[in-house]
Amino acid sequence: MRFYEPTISADEISNTYRLNCDNSHHFSHVLRGKVGDGIVLFNGVSGEYSAVVCSMKKDHVSCIVNDYKQINRSREAQVDLVFSLAANTKLSLILQKCTELGVSHLYPVQADRSQSRLDKYTAHHHSRNQKIIIAAMMQCGLNIRPKLHQPTILSNLPWPDWEESAKLICHPGQRRFKTLPSQKRTIWFVGPEGGWTDGEVAYFGTKGCQMSTLAPTILRMETACIVAMSQGIESI
């Protein structure tokens, strides 16, 4: 049983630590845990802490933190994803599956054909999406939290930081890479359902991006994100 506790630190080793309200409820009422159960705590920044539940109250669960292990299951080479803003159900799937596959950074963008718009994305949406990522981390064993960036437009992406990175644009009708570039950082770009416009494709060309297709068929956006991440991870 793994729980995300952003305040856990080395100072808590050998001490009693109280799980936050959400984790206490999940342990008690969903997982039906009990005193004496072993659990793992992580803060999304470094490794993980092993602990044993020592008490259960009506409104909280406490544990004894035993030790810390510097376990990082993230890949050495970084794979990032730039993807079109989408409806909540599609966005949830993208965030969940790409987190499980080891994405490092997630950049939602408003493309010309995006279903969703920047002015509709609120702080509530961002908080909800962070929780989806954390839930995926709890399930898959990842300890370093992927960075979910605020939605933006293509021209506001951190292009100067990506000069030495492989930048691959998913676009139907292009050749498929049999072997992916060997840079330590790869950024995949997945467009909306209608694809990237000619103007966007031309813009990518000015940024040193390479065009690639993912499959002989046309994929839905959420499928393309998962396939792109899978190919990115397999190449590392």
**What SS3 string covers 8-43?**
CCHHHCCCEEECCHHHHHHHHHHCCCCCCCEEEEEC
96 with 146, same domain? yes
Record the pTM.
0.87
227 with 149, same domain? yes
Domain count, the chain: 2
Residue ranges making up the domain that contains 22: 2-69
55 with 92, same domain? no
62 with 176, same domain? no
Last residue of a domain, one of 23, 39, 69: 69
Last residue of a domain, one of 32, 48, 69: 69
Last residue of a domain, one of 69, 91, 122: 69
pLDDT tens for residues 171-199?
876 666 555 566 688 999 999 988 999 99
Nearest CA to 38 out of 18, 76, 65 is that of 65
Distance CA 132, CA 139 (A): 11
Look up tokens 């803060």; give the residue.
43
Q: Which residues contact 17 (CB under 8 A, 6 or more apart)?
A: 5, 8, 41, 51, 62, 63, 64, 65
**What SS3 string covers 158-199?**
CHHHHCCCEEEEECCCCCCCCCCCCCCEEEEEECCCCCCCHH
Q: So what's the pLDDT on residue 216?
A: 81
Query: Other CB atoms closer than 10 Å to residue 222's CB: what's the count?
Result: 21
On the 0-12 / 13-18 / 19+ scale of CB atoms within 10 A, 230 is middle
96 with 119, same domain? yes
Q: So what's the pLDDT on residue 179?
A: 54
Percentage of the chain beyond pLDDT 90 is: 71
108 with 201, same domain? yes
Distance CA 180, CA 17 (A): 45
Mean pLDDT (whole number) for 39-52 = 94
On the 0-12 / 13-18 / 19+ scale of CB atoms within 10 A, 235 is middle
Q: So what's the pLDDT on residue 182?
A: 60
64 with 87, same domain? no
225 with 128, same domain? yes
Q: So what's the pLDDT on residue 199?
A: 96
- State the CATH number of the domain containing residue 58: 2.40.240.20
Distance CA 133, CA 136 (A): 5
